[in-house]
Amino acid sequence: MKFFADTAEIADIKDLAAIGLLDGVTTNPSLIAKSGRDFKEVTKEICGIVNGPVSAEVVALDYDGMMREAAILRKIADNVCIKVPMTLDGLKACKALTGDGSMVNVTLCFSANQALLAAKAGATFVSPFVGRHDDNGFDGMELIADIRLIYDNYDFRTEILVASVRHGIHVLNAARIGADVMTAPPAVIKGLVKHVLTDKGIEGFLADWAKTGQTI
């Protein structure tokens, strides 16, 4: 499963890339606003750090507006992935953009039927939001399993990009189901390395090593 970082913070992206844990980045208007930087400037910098897709989201809601904004975003870097909303106009833009060779991420997916539409429109990625789905009384992972089954039934190439990931259990279950990608805040990704028994093991080894009085 590929790991994308859901952030616009350059320092965090550089840290994860240096560790070798980063296959791409997803951004959205909220994350860009939080960074306090110019949208195109920060997107270009991110694209220079990672080789994989960097999702940059349109804010227009009509087809013509989406296409105008997408034309600007595509010029930023070759690895920009245009993010469009799960609407009829968004799907129309997805079809046009992927037909012209652009990567497209259809976002804000909350049902398997929506994911089916995204695949029919030729989306590169579809982003089901598992955390928000859970918040509203549904099972986010059941949604991922349904999408995986449908895509496998018809051999769709659209990759399932699990979004709104809140914790390690989301990551684990997404990997068990067979999601192609997960995107999460840097803190969630870094937190995957933590385990109480790992910490205790390191403490024990260091204590025993100290008793030897040796150095390496």
CATH label of the domain that carries residue 25: 3.20.20.70
Q: How far is CA 55 from CA 22, 31, 52, in A?
A: 14, 12, 10
Q: Could you tell me the sign of the dihedral formed by the alpha carbons of 130, 37, 70, 103, in that order?
A: negative
* Per-residue pLDDT at 29: 86
Count structural domains, the chain. 1
64: burial class by Cβ within 10 Å (0-12, 13-18, 19+)?
Answer: exposed
- The burial of 88, by beta-carbon neighbours within 10 Å (0-12 exposed, 13-18 middle, 19 or more buried), is given as exposed
Digit-coded pLDDT (tens) for 20-36? 999 999 998 888 888 88
Q: Is 44 a catalytic residue?
A: no
Q: For residue 25, give the 3-state DSSP assignment.
A: strand
Which residues of the chain fall short of a pLDDT of 50? none
Q: How high is the mean pLDDT of the chain?
A: 96
Instruction: Identify the pLDDT of residue 21.
Output: 92
Q: Are 54 and 27 in contact (CB under 8 A)?
A: yes
Residue 34 has a pLDDT of 86
> Which is nearest to 162 in space by CA: 145, 182, 184?
182
Question: Can you read off the two tokens belonging to residue 51?
Answer: 């080789």
Q: How much is the pLDDT for 215? A: 92
Question: Using an 8 Å Cβ cutoff, are 100 and 76 in contact?
Answer: no
Q: What is the pTM of this model?
A: 0.94
pLDDT value of residue 36: 86
How far apart CA 122 and CA 142 sit, in angstroms, is: 23
C-alpha span between 105 and 216 (Å, rounded):
49
CA distance 132 to 144: 13
Tokens of 212: 């030897």
Exactly one of 40, 83, 190, 211 is catalytic; which is it?
Answer: 83
Domain limits for position 67: 2-212
Q: For position 35, what pLDDT does the model report? A: 87
**What's the pLDDT score for residue 32?**
87
| Residue type at position 80 | V
**CB of 158 closer than 8 Å to CB of 125:** yes
In this prediction, residue 30 carries a pLDDT of: 87
Helix pair angle (112-120, 88-99), 10° resolution: 30
